[in-house]
Chains A and B, each alone.
Chain A
Amino acid sequence: MDENNIFIELKNIKKIFPGVVALEDVDFDVKYGEVHALVGENGAGKSTLIKILGGAYQPDGGEIIIEGKTANISATSMAQQYKIAVIYQEFNLVPDLSVAENIFIGREPKVGKTFVNWKKINNDASEILKKLDIEINPKKFISDLSVAEKQMIEIAKSLSMDAKLIIMDEPTATLTEKEVIKLFSIIEELRKKGVSIIYISHRLDEAFKLSDRITVLRDGKKIETKITSETNQNEIVSLMVGKVVKDYFSEKKQKTSDEVIMEVKNYNIADSIYDMNFQLHRGEILGFAGVLGSGIHHLLRSLYGGEQIASGEIYFENQKVSIKKPSDAIKLGIGYVTEDRKGEGLLYDMSVLQNLSIIIIKTLTAFKGLFIRQKKELDVFNAMAKELDIKYASVNQRIIYLSGGNQQKVIMGRTLVSDCKVLILLEPTRGIDVGAKAEIHKIMTALAEKGISIIMTSSELPELVNLTDRCIVLYKGKLAAEFNRENMDEEKLVAAEIGKHIYSNN
């Protein structure tokens, strides 16, 4: 390919962290106006790579060439000067500043040299937002925005600094179908303008839909770069996991029993759930589908005592129970795996072992919870690590050094060791690579076959369609539809999710 149409080129980049080699001799380049998909399992080094491009990390070796010249992205501010914008998964927005201020932070239009030009900053902001047709008042504070809105603000931000290269890390992870469509059209726009884009996603279909080329990373090494039109999903997947994955979804064998383990009767949560009724059978995988605002997360959280319920009854094993706080749920044998691993899952400063045993630690003690029996704790851990095939260097390794998939397994294990009867899974495979996804799915079906009932929700419809025995669709906090394995497919779910109106992707 001819050099001068390459915007940025990385030559054998290297990065080491205590305990892991994050990147090893990675070569990588992006052309002008190209959408370059970057795929790979968690821990493959994608986020490290983009942090280097964003100037957050300094490489321990190798060189970066931007527009033919060797570049040294020594700070995030440098990245801006090189016209590189990174949209991280964890947003970089300032809660106590307004939308407009966030979009133009560091580049505010000024009166003179020092004073903020409030008029201009707000006008410019609303202009950009209009371009993305987002209806958000630029004077609003970020702390008052929803996740999806924040996502959009991030994009607006990178547009505002007319970046030549925009890096998007899992941009669709938290978006609804509708918003995804919007995002894609924006990306098309940018591509036409000659803006290069590095697109990172676990959703291969997206990568194939958008990208010109796809680069696969595995274990910190670059495996291959493929022209998208000349490859297919299976090939990429096998490149990612290093082996060919047969069944993406593991089919659940046996039929679920009719025994009702949990029942929810005319359940209401203020402003989010209205008069909900459903039963959960032993060994059943019950799915919940719904777009943002459907209230699912409120519902599932409150079933675990993460939120106060407004009214309604819960029967557990035919006993009327009240679940006020998580400990109540745990006592009953209800487990919960959050969708927000970072925010409310991981105990970063603690070891893998401590993370797994935290829920049941009191039971692993001698003399009435006086002191911990380390041996026993270790046994429990090893058993679970084996069952879930958790990969770790040492039990005392801090959990943040594990890959996303393994972190997720530990957090699932955390609830599983408390041998729960009902498991509530929110977005069990969010931000997890294909290989790990398949594993998680296997684990889930296995659990269900062991007689554990699972309540799950996922923004990836295929997951719901292929995994769940039954799927309840909520629309604006009300039960909109219910499907079971036989009669459910993605179209029906989507239709129900958006309130019956069938809508097409174009």
Chain B
Amino acid sequence: MDDIKIVLTPKQKAGSWLGSFGLIAILLIIFGFFSLTLRGTYFNWGNIKNMVSFSSYVGIGAIGMTFCIMTGNFDISIGSMLALAGVLGASAALKLGGIVGVIVTIVVAALLGLLNGLFVTKLKIPAFITTLGMLFIFRALAYIYTNNNPQYITDRFWIFLGNGSFLGLPFPIFIMGLCYLIAFFMLRKAPFGRYILAVGTNSRAASLSGINVENVKILVFTLIGVFVGVSAVLNGSMLGAANPGMMGDGYEFQVITAVVLGGTALAGGSGSLGGTLLAALIVVFLKTGMSNAQVNSYWQQVATGVVLIVAVSLNKLKFWLLGQAQ
């Protein structure tokens, strides 16, 4: 049966290695570098816990986005989505208690995601534009609903979710872990994952294979909502308030950056959750490292940008080595 011989040139071997270990290498380099230079202030258990738990903010939101980009779509409304869900949840919590608030947050976000999905599929408005419009609308609604008053989150349960710890680990780490497990399972072990891949790589073929492309897309956008909702819960808990203007400001680009840095092709079809998670960690580890090192904050910006470009070019280097066109 195996009468087709697999031949890998050294170049290609290097490429595949890069594909598998590139991001981890970057993460370790960054971590190692700052650990050596900063010692205690960086390389200590508390700080690591802190960094990982804060990476959940981008990390969890990036799960949905990874799915979305895999299907060749795009959602830049998530920042505003986070805020709107956050303020609604928070105000619900004030009246009906934390558990309700948390549920409301996630449900609202999911519904907003669903709304995006419906616009994209039913009204046939390109995802980028739909979500661009929603970016304005959600944020505006958040302002209008709260009349620009921050909604404080005081409920102990909700506060615990973001700040408490369990088995000596910050609780957000567990939530992030859980989210990734579920997502990973959906993508690799459930038919849904195949559908996402199929739609992303060739939607016409997918629909001829009996896949309801529209439903898959709607589901993907709804999932974005769900994960953004979870992220909103944690974020709100860490901030202890939901501020319609502040919450999730610039979130969309942080998340998309993480996803792309994680090696998911914007064209759709291929992607990796592991990569996304690593990317989310890389960004936080880098930023924290630099500010702990008291790097001038202007230089920090420059460095962040440069590192981003370098990291992504490594991914390109992989494809070049493998001799594949993207």
> Per-position contact with B for A339-378: 1 when CB-CB < 8 Å, else 0?
0000111111110001001110110010001111000000
CB distance from A402 to the nearest CB of B (A): 8
> CB-CB < 8 A to B211: which residues of A?
327, 358
- Shortest Cβ gap from B115 to chain A (Å): 24
Q: B-side binding surface: helix, strand, loop or mixed?
A: loop
30 contacts between A and B (CB under 8 A): A17-B323, A18-B12, A19-B4, A20-B4, A21-B5, A304-B208, A325-B207, A326-B209, A326-B210, A327-B210, A330-B210, A343-B204, A344-B208, A345-B208, A348-B201, A349-B269, A350-B201, A354-B194, A354-B197, A358-B194, A358-B198, A359-B210, A361-B191, A385-B1, A391-B3, A392-B1, A392-B4, A393-B6, A394-B2, A394-B6
* Inter-subunit contact A16/B9 (CB<8 Å): yes
CB distance from A345 to the nearest CB of B (A): 6
Q: Contacts A18-B8, A349-B269, A349-B270 known; A393 to B2 CB distance under 8 Å?
A: yes
User: Distance (Å) between the CB of A305 and the closest chain B CB?
Assistant: 9
**Chain B window 182-204, contacts with chain A (Cβ cutoff 8 Å), 1 for yes, 0 for no:** 00010001110010011011101
B209 adjacent to A359 (CB under 8 Å): yes
- Structural contact, B3 and A306, CB atoms closer than 8 A: no
Are B201 and A20 within 8 A (Cβ)? no
Known A16-B9, A326-B209; contact A344-B194, beta-carbon cutoff 8 A: no
- Whether B7 is near chain A, meaning CB under 8 Å from some CB there, is yes
Cα–Cα distance between A361 and B195 once the two chains are bound (Å): 9
In the complex, the answer to whether A369 meets B202 with C-beta atoms within 8 Å is no
Q: Which of B1, B191, B202 contacts A348 (CB 8 A)?
A: B202
- The residues of A that contact B204 with a CB separation of less than 8 Å are 343-344
Would you give the 0/1 interface string for B1-41, flagging 1 where the beta carbon is closer than 8 Å to chain A? Answer: 11111111100100000000000000000000000000000
Distance from A368 Cβ to chain B, minimum over Cβ atoms (Å):
11
Q: Which residues of A contact B205 (CB under 8 A)?
A: 338, 344-347
- Given A362-B191, A371-B189, A414-B209, answer yes or no on A347-B202 (Cβ-Cβ < 8 Å): yes
- What are the residues of chain A within 8 A of B296 when measuring CB–CB? none
* A306 close to B208 (CB less than 8 A): yes
Q: Which residues of A contact B198 (CB under 8 A)?
A: 347, 350, 358
Given contacts A349-B200, A371-B189, A371-B190, contact A18 B212 (CB under 8 A): no
Asked if A336 is at the interface (CB within 8 A of a chain B CB), the reply is yes
When the two chains form their complex, are residues B4 and A344 in contact, meaning their CB atoms are under 8 A apart?
Answer: no
| Closest beta carbon of chain A to B326's beta carbon, Å | 11
Q: Is there an interface contact between A370 and B190, defined as CB atoms closer than 8 Å?
A: yes
Closest CB of chain B to A65's CB: distance in Å? 25
Chain A's interface size range is: 35 or more
The CA-CA distance from A16 to B12 in the complex, in Å, is 10
> Nearest chain A CB to B263's CB is how many angstroms away?
13
**Given A20-B4, A346-B205, A350-B197, are A327 and B212 also a contact pair (CB < 8 Å)?**
yes
Q: Which residues of A contact B7 (CB under 8 A)?
A: 16, 18-21
Q: Does B266 contact A (CB under 8 A)?
A: no
Q: Decide if B324 is an interface residue (CB 8 Å cutoff).
A: yes
| A residues near B200, Cβ cutoff 8 Å | 349
Is B322 located at the chain interface by the 8 A CB criterion?
yes
Interface residues of chain A, those whose CB is within 8 Å of chain B, are 16-21, 304, 306, 325-327, 329-330, 336, 338, 343-350, 354, 357-359, 361-362, 365, 369-372, 385, 391-394, 414
Interface string of B294-326 (1 = CB under 8 A from A): 000000000000000000000000000011100
The 4 closest A-B pairs by CB, nearest first: A349-B269, A344-B204, A349-B201, A327-B210
Most chain B C-beta atoms within 10 Å of own C-beta, residue among A304, A306, A371: A371
Known: A20-B4, A326-B207. 14 other contacts (CB 8 A): A16-B9, A325-B207, A338-B208, A346-B202, A348-B201, A348-B269, A349-B197, A350-B198, A358-B211, A365-B191, A371-B185, A371-B190, A372-B191, A372-B194
Residues of A within 8 A of B185 (CB): 371
* A393-B197 in contact given A344-B202, A370-B190, A372-B190 (Cβ < 8 Å): no
Query: What are the residues of chain A within 8 A of B207 when measuring CB–CB?
Result: 325-326
Q: Is the Cβ of A391 less than 8 Å from the Cβ of B212?
A: no
Q: How far is the CA of A393 from the CA of B204 in the complex (A)?
A: 27
How many angstroms from the CA of A109 to the CA of B66 in the assembled complex? 46
Q: How far is the CB of A221 from chain B (nearest CB, A)?
A: 13
Cβ contact within 8 Å between B190 and A18: no
B187 to chain A, nearest CB (A): 11
Give the residues in chain B near A20, CB-CB below 8 Å.
4-5, 7
Give the residues from 167 to 193 in chain B that come closer than 8 angstroms, CB to CB, to chain A: 185, 189-191
Which residue of B4, B8, B191, B201 is within 8 Å of A347 (Cβ)? Answer: B201
- Chain B contacts for A361, CB-based, 8 A: 191, 194
Contact B197 A347 (CB under 8 A): yes
Q: Which residue on B lies nearest to A369, using beta carbons? A: B191
A232 to nearest B CB, angstroms?
29
Please judge, given known A-B contacts A350-B197, A365-B191, A370-B190, whether A19 and B6 are in contact too, CB under 8 Å. yes
Q: How far is the CB of A42 from chain B (nearest CB, A)?
A: 13
B residues less than 8 Å from A354 (CB atoms): 194, 197
In the assembled complex, the CB of B45 is this many whole angstroms from the nearest CB of chain A, namely: 36
Residues from chain A with Cβ under 8 Å of B202 in the complex: 343-344, 346-348
B residues near A325, Cβ cutoff 8 Å: 207, 210, 212
| Most chain A CB within a 10 A radius of its CB, from B194, B205, B324 | B205
B322 contacts A18, C-beta separation under 8 Å: yes
Tell which of B191, B200, B202, B212 has the most Cβ of chain A within 10 Å. B191
Most chain A beta-carbon neighbours within 10 Å: one of B3, B4, B189, B211: B4
B206 at the interface (CB under 8 A from A): yes
- Chain B residues near A358 (CB-CB < 8 A): 194, 198, 206, 209, 211
In the complex, how many angstroms separate the beta carbon of B311 from the nearest chain A beta carbon? 22
Chain B, residue nearest A337 (CB): B208
Nearest-Cβ distance from residue B321 to partner chain A, whole angstroms: 10
B273 to chain A, nearest CB (A): 16
State the CA gap A371–B186 with chains docked (Å): 8
User: CB-defined interface of B47-60 with A at 8 Å, one 1/0 digit per residue?
Assistant: 00000000000000
Distance of B210 from chain A, by nearest CB (Å) = 4
Closest to B188 in A: A372
Task: Give the docked Cα–Cα distance between A167 and B293 (Å).
Answer: 62
Nearest CB of B to A23, in Å: 12
Within the complex, the shortest CB–CB distance from B238 to chain A, in Å, comes to: 33
Given A350-B197, A350-B198, A361-B194, check contact A18 B324 (CB 8 Å). yes
Q: In the complex, what distance in Å separates the CA atom of A348 from the CA atom of B198?
A: 9
Tell me whether A393 and B209 are in contact in the complex, defined as CB-CB below 8 angstroms, given that A344-B202, A362-B191 are known contacts: no
Please measure, in the bound complex, the distance between the C-alpha atom of A21 and the C-alpha atom of B8, giving whole angstroms.
10
Contacts of A347 in B (CB 8 A): 197-198, 201-202, 205-206
Distance of A394 from chain B, by nearest CB (Å): 7
Q: Which residue of A has the minimal Cβ distance to B271?
A: A349
A456 to B269, CA, bound (A): 31
* Residues of B with C-beta under 8 A to A346: 202, 205
Give A390's nearest chain B residue, CB to CB.
B1
CB distance from A154 to the nearest CB of B (A): 21
Least Cβ–Cβ distance between B190 and chain A, in angstroms: 5
| Cβ contacts under 8 Å, A16 to chain B | 7, 9
